[in-house]
Amino acid sequence: MAGEMSFTRVLIANRGEIARRIQRACRKLGLESVAVFSGADRDAPFVVEADHAICIGGAAPADSYLNIPAILEAARAAGAGAVHPGYGFLSENADFAAAVKAAGLVFIGPEADAIARMGSKIEAKAAAEAAGVPVLPGYRGTDQSDARLQDEARALGCPFLVKASAGGGGRGMRLVTDLDDAAEAIASARSEAKGAFGDATVFLERYAPRARHIEVQVLGDNHGRVLHLGDRDCSLQRNHQKLIEEAPAADLPEALRTDMRAAAVRLAQAIGYRSAGTVEYLYDPASGDYYFLEMNTRLQVEHPVTEAITGIDLVEWQLRIARGEALTLAQSDIRFDGHAIEIRIAAENPAENFRPETGRITLWAPPAGARLDSGVKAGSVVSHHYDSMLAKLIVHAPDRAGAIRQAVAALDTFAVGGVGLNLTYQRALLTHPDFQAFRHHTSGLPEMLPGGWNEPDDQGTALAAIALHLNLSPANDSPWQSLGGWRLTGPAGRQGMASYWHGSSDEPLRVGGGKSQLTVMLLEGQSVTVEAPELNAGRLSGRANGVPFSRVAHVERAEACWRVHVQTPAGMTTHQFQVLQDRHLRRSSHQAAGDDTLAAPMPGAVAEIRVAPGDRVAAGDTLVVLEAMKLLQSLPAPVTGVVAEIYCAPGDTVAGNAPLVKLYPENQT
C-alpha cells in the first residue's frame, strides 16, 4: 500500500499559518512543497518559503482557494503527487477529496465518504448513536415541513437550538427560548443555511446552557488502527468561534474522560476513519453527562496543544498515513505531559465590536520562548478577503496555572505595529477569575464581561499620547517650531499645551511640559506625569510615579490619523490620535462628502444593499451589509432621510472611506 501511495511533492491547498505549518512537516520528511496562492498573497511568507509556488486566481476565495479546477491544474503543472487541504476552505469538502483522488493524486485526509457522512450533522449524529456515543435529544428527521418541525419543537420544549445540517461556525443556528419564536427561528436558520452552505436542511436539538466544549483528537491509519491523543477544552468562545484552547481538558472526572476518549475511537473505527480527526462533545457539569456534537474530518486549528502535551507531530503523521504507513504507536505508548494553551491572535479591534483591522504590518516582534504558528511577518499586508486570524501563540508548562502565567507573559511582550490585534482582550480572558477557576462555558462571555469590552486603563492612553508627542517634537527644537498638535499659547501667557484627539472623541487630551517632565491631562480630569520621558529606537522610557519604566512604543502615520502601539500593564494596546491638521482635513472631507453620506468604515465587499433610491430611512437603520475578513457588518444610516443615490452594488469591493449611499436629510426633503 505504501508503494501505491508514494509521493515526493505535496501541494498545499491553503494559505497563511497552516500552509507554513504543513511546509515544515514536509521538510521534516524530505518532501517538496507546492504553494498555491491568490493575487493578494503573492508576497506572503508561505509563498516565499515554498519549494514551488503557483498563482491560481484573484483575491476572492471563490477565484482561488475555493477554485477546485484551478487547484488541480496547479497540482498537475507542479508535478505534485498529493494534496493537503489544511483547515478551512476545502478541507471538509467531500467533492474536493473525490476530485483529488479522481485526478490520480493522494488526498491527505480521510476518504470522501467519511467527510460527507460527518459533514451532515444529521448523518453524523446517526452514526454516533449507532456507535454507542450519546447524543442530545432532538429531531433529525427527513420531514422538513414547517408543521413537522414546529410539532417537534413543541415536543422537545425550550430551550432548544435550530441548527443547519451542513453548518458550522454558528451560521444557520438559532436559539429558541420561547415557543412563540420557533417559526421565525426555523425560517431564518433555513435561509441562512441555504445562503451559506447551499443546503436548507435543519434539525432541532436540546440546548445545554452552561456546557463545556470538549474534544478528543483521533488518529487512524489505512490498516484499521485508531488511536486517541487525549482531549482538549475549547469552551471559551465568542459567537461559536473558539478563542482560547487548552489540553488536556481540566477538571473532568477521570471516568468520564476515559469514556469520552473510548467513544471517539469507537466512532472513528465505525466509519473507517484515517488521518487526523476530532470528535467534539458538549459536557454538562451540572448533570455529569456528555453528548456528541460533531466530528471534524480535518486537522484542527488547535492541534498544537495536543502536539505539545504528547510530543507527537500530527501533520507528520498525516503525511505518513497518506503514504500508506501504519501507525507505529500503541495506545499505551502515548503519554500526556503537562498543560498547553493556545491563543488565537486576530487582526481585530475588540473595543469597537471586533471591527476587522486591515493594512500593512510595520512591526512584528513576537515573544521569545513560546511557539508561534504565524502566517505573517513585518511587511505583510492584512487583507479583508480572508479570516482575521494571523497567528496562534502556544505555551506549555507543567500545570495549567503555569501555562496561564506563561501565556500572559508572552502576550505582554508581543509587539506589533501597522494593524491592531486582539492581544489585550485575550489577556483579559486569560486573567479573568472565571477562566482561572474553570467557571467559564461556551456561552459565558456575557457573564465574564457583562459590560462588553473596552481597552483597559487610562495609563496606556497617556503613555501612547506621550509617545506620539515625543515623536512629533524633534529633539532640541523649540516646541513652538514643531508641528503636530501644538497650540501657540505662549504669547498669551499660558504654558504651551499640545492637543491630541483620541479615538472618536471630540474632546482632546492635552500634553504639556518639556524634556524633564510631561503631563497628560485626560478627559476625566485625571492626569499622568512622566519624568525624563524619552522615545528612542522604538521604546518609550521614563519614570511614572517615581518608578522607572521602558516599554515598546511604535508610532506610525495611518490614514488621516496617527497610530500608536504601546506596551502597558494590560498588554500591547493600539491607539489612534488626530492632531489639529487631521481635524481640519476631517472637517474639509466631511464638508465635501457631507454628513448625509454613508461611507465604508474599512475595505470590504458589499454583501447586501437593503434600500433602494426613494426609500425613507431612520438614522441607525441598516443600509448596507459589508463583509470583511469573513465577518458581516451592518452599516447604519447616518441621518434620517430619503435615499438619494447608491454608489455600490452587491459583490463590489470597496476601499475604506468609499461613499456607499447618499441621503437627503429629512429637514431637506
Instruction: Looking at the structure, tell me whether residues 86 and 177 fall in a common domain.
Output: no
- Whether 203 and 163 have beta carbons less than 8 Å apart is answered as yes
Instruction: Looking at the structure, tell me whether residues 424 and 573 fall in a common domain.
Output: no
Q: Quote the cell numbers at residue 91.
A: 478541507
Query: Can you give the pLDDT at residue 382?
Result: 95
Between CA 424 and CA 351 the distance in angstroms is 10
* 255 in any annotated domain: yes
CATH number for the domain including 320?
3.30.470.20
Instruction: Looking at the structure, tell me whether residues 438 and 498 fall in a common domain.
Output: no
Strands laid side by side in the 604-609 sheet: 631-636, 622-628, 604-609, 653-654
Phi and psi torsions of 286, nearest 5°: -65, -40
* 121 in any annotated domain: no
* 116 in any annotated domain: no
- Give me the domain span that covers residue 52: 9-108
CATH number for the domain including 474?
3.30.700
Instruction: Looking at the structure, tell me whether residues 558 and 614 fall in a common domain.
Output: no
Between CA 577 and CA 103 the distance in angstroms is 55
* 122 in any annotated domain: no
Query: Can you give the pLDDT at residue 539?
Result: 93
Reduced to 3 states (helix: H, G, I; strand: E, B; else coil), residue 155 is: helix
Strands laid side by side in the 106-107 sheet: 52-57, 32-38, 9-12, 82-84, 106-107
Instruction: Looking at the structure, tell me whether residues 320 and 263 fall in a common domain.
Output: yes
Instruction: Looking at the structure, tell me whether residues 277 and 369 fall in a common domain.
Output: yes
β strands within 210-327, DSSP E: 212-220, 226-238, 241-247, 275-284, 289-296
Instruction: Looking at the structure, tell me whether residues 600 and 573 fall in a common domain.
Output: no
Which residue from 11, 116, 14 is spatially nearest to 66, judged by alpha carbons?
14
Averaged in consecutive runs of 10 residues, what is the pLDDT profile of the chain (669 residues)?
A: 71 98 98 97 97 96 96 98 97 97 97 95 94 94 92 93 82 91 92 85 91 97 96 94 96 97 98 97 95 96 98 98 96 97 95 88 93 97 93 98 96 90 94 93 92 78 94 60 43 61 88 92 88 94 92 88 87 87 63 72 88 92 87 88 92 83 80
**Hey, which residues does 393 pair with through a beta bridge?**
343, 372
Which residue has cell 490619523? 561
Q: How many domains does the chain have?
A: 5
Which residue from 105, 67, 109, 86 is spatially nearest to 19, judged by alpha carbons?
86
Task: Please identify, among 61, 91, 108, the residue that sits at the C-terminal boundary of a domain.
Answer: 108
Whether the CA torsion 65, 69, 70, 75 is positive or negative: it is: positive
CATH number for the domain including 157?
3.30.1490.20
Task: Please identify, among 448, 479, 496, the residue that sits at the C-terminal boundary of a domain.
Answer: 448
Between CA 51 and CA 167 the distance in angstroms is 35
Q: What b/e readout covers 476-505, taking b as 16+ CB neighbours within 10 angstroms? A: eeebeeeebbbeeeeeeeeebbbbbbbeee
Query: Can you give the pLDDT at residue 272?
Result: 96
CATH number for the domain including 635?
2.40.50.100
CATH number for the domain including 20?
3.40.50.20
Between CA 465 and CA 521 the distance in angstroms is 10
Between CA 611 and CA 637 the distance in angstroms is 10
Which residue from 407, 493, 414, 505 is spatially nearest to 465, judged by alpha carbons?
505
* 225 in any annotated domain: yes
Instruction: Looking at the structure, tell me whether residues 75 and 50 fall in a common domain.
Output: yes
Query: Can you give the pLDDT at residue 456?
Result: 67
Between CA 151 and CA 183 the distance in angstroms is 11
478 CB-near residues (< 8 Å, 6+ apart) = none
Phi and psi torsions of 550, nearest 5°: -150, 120
* 453 in any annotated domain: no
Instruction: Looking at the structure, tell me whether residues 185 and 218 fall in a common domain.
Output: no
Instruction: Looking at the structure, tell me whether residues 469 and 557 fall in a common domain.
Output: yes
Which residue from 527, 365, 557 is spatially nearest to 461, judged by alpha carbons?
527
Query: Can you give the pLDDT at residue 630?
Result: 72
Between CA 63 and CA 226 the distance in angstroms is 37
* 197 in any annotated domain: yes
103 CB-near residues (< 8 Å, 6+ apart) = 72, 75, 76
Instruction: Looking at the structure, tell me whether residues 189 and 227 fall in a common domain.
Output: no
Phi and psi torsions of 26, nearest 5°: -65, -45
Task: Please identify, among 448, 467, 489, the residue that sits at the C-terminal boundary of a domain.
Answer: 448
Kindly write down the DSSP assignment for every residue of 393-411, as one continuous string: EEEEESSHHHHHHHHHHHH
Between CA 89 and CA 25 the distance in angstroms is 20
Query: Can you give the pLDDT at residue 174?
Result: 92
Tell me what percent of the chain is helix, strand and coil, each rounded to the nearest 5: 30, 35, 35
Whether the CA torsion 154, 155, 158, 160 is positive or negative: it is: negative
Query: Can you give the pLDDT at residue 572?
Result: 83
Instruction: Looking at the structure, tell me whether residues 224 and 369 fall in a common domain.
Output: yes
- Whether 442 and 173 have beta carbons less than 8 Å apart is answered as no
Query: Can you give the pLDDT at residue 476?
Result: 41
* 340 in any annotated domain: yes
Between CA 580 and CA 130 the distance in angstroms is 69
Between CA 31 and CA 7 the distance in angstroms is 8
pTM, two decimal places: 0.85
Query: Can you give the pLDDT at residue 570?
Result: 80
Query: Can you give the pLDDT at residue 489?
Result: 41
